[in-house]
Structure 1
């Protein structure tokens, strides 16, 4: 986590990248055995070349007991991450929305320190609601820094089922209520939302490929 970011800045074709830690059940307790790597590339060939040959990634694989990699096409992106707007240009280059098939959702926020307590108090009921949501294939809470720089990544059977959870009346409206409060109480200093079509995935996540259920 500390030594690889400088190496990533020299990778050909890599536009944007973040190494991420994780927490148990979207909470404050860190999971020191699970990490994420989110990246935007010039093209698929650049990504495949990195995964096949780069020494940092080879070392990462050697230390991993399990590895799951998804190739994603941006469909929608708004907001900023560390001052940048990753995925937005690719989403605007003509990618049409996915009417069927699996989709992935990334949410990322820099939480204002004085709002952190309110944010974390709201997490447990939302975590329980998303775990029970129809159509959810997998989800994980990620972060760049403990407590104040957080992200989520979730995988869904379809756009319709994802939107049913995010904007519908199910689960007592927990997610909708939290979204409303983020605006009213100004929890975030910076935030980003992105939605992707899942082109393909390799490897396993908790002993399985989550996409198997919809293939």
Structure 2
């Protein structure tokens, strides 16, 4: 069986539950490291209003790489860890992903292996872009972000997007899901603002490390904003 990736989003409403979620960013590592069948995990915070440097204290995420889907299913159905998160959160949504392609590194390595069982009839595509921003470039980078991301506010074919990351301001990522490859390419290469962002990235060299990954979402469990963003799956 091929490796699969899962990304789970947790939403919290009450102050006490938001504090619990924040503390788990530090204290859940010991338990997560012991999960069988898991080759990598990342506890992630999120940014406000899509891709913002300001933290969204009500939303956190858990990225996991599994040796196979069976290991992932066992975690989501039997683990006391996921049970703890369910008890504290008001909404949970997990999306199962098959890796299509990767470029670059995350913390010095490529954590994703290409999945050979891509379904040709499934046109959905998910993207993770992750970067460590050079300290001296932080101001210039975040000053330009609102301009480069503006087209996302009314982008055809975009089903979901959220800014995530390990460390606010410096270690950031975006996760997005698109109806198809054409919608993704239209945004990435045909919008003036994003094209300018690509040029600035090459010219200013503001990343210490970067990674770009494409995935095929093939299973969606739970809800987000009271609906399953990929109910078709």
Contact 1:75/1:95 (<8 A) preserved: no
State whether structure 2 residue 1 is matched by structure 1 residue 7: no
* CA distance 1:98–1:180, change in 2 (3 Å): farther
Aligned residues: 208
Q: Which residue of 2 aligns with 1:198?
A: 217
Once the two structures are superposed, the pairs formed by residues 166-181 of structure 1 within 5 Å of their partners are 166-168=188-190, 170=191, 173-181=192-200
In the aligned structure 2, how far is the partner of 1:138 from the partner of 1:21?
17
Q: Which residue of 1 aligns with 2:5?
A: none
1:33 offset after TM fit, Å? Answer: 0.7
Contact 1:20/1:35 (<8 A) preserved: yes
Instruction: Tell me the SS of whatever aligns to 1:31.
Output: coil
Contact 2:98/2:118 (<8 A) preserved: no
Contact 1:108/1:150 (<8 A) preserved: yes
In the aligned structure 2, how far is the partner of 1:106 from the partner of 1:99?
22
Q: Which residue of 2 aligns with 1:139?
A: 161
In the aligned structure 2, how far is the partner of 1:146 from the partner of 1:65?
24
1:97 offset after TM fit, Å? Answer: 8.4
State whether structure 2 residue 55 is matched by structure 1 residue 36: no
Contact 1:20/1:37 (<8 A) preserved: yes
Instruction: Tell me the SS of whatever aligns to 1:11.
Output: coil
Runs of at least 5 residues in structure 2 that lack an aligned partner in the other structure: 1-24
RMSD: 1.7
1:98 offset after TM fit, Å? Answer: 5.5
In the aligned structure 2, how far is the partner of 1:188 from the partner of 1:97?
33
* Alignment match of 1:16 (pick from 37, 40, 60): 40
Structure 1 residue ranges, 4+ long, deviating more than 4 angstroms after superposition: 95-100
1:205 offset after TM fit, Å? Answer: 1.3
TM-score where L is the length of structure 1: 0.91
The superposition leaves residues 113-151 of structure 1 with CA deviations (integer Å, 9 ceiling, x where unpaired) of 100111101111222211211100010011111110001
Runs of at least 5 residues in structure 1 that lack an aligned partner in the other structure: none
1:100 offset after TM fit, Å? Answer: 5.2
* Alignment match of 2:230 (pick from 205, 211, 214): 211
1:13 offset after TM fit, Å? Answer: 1.0
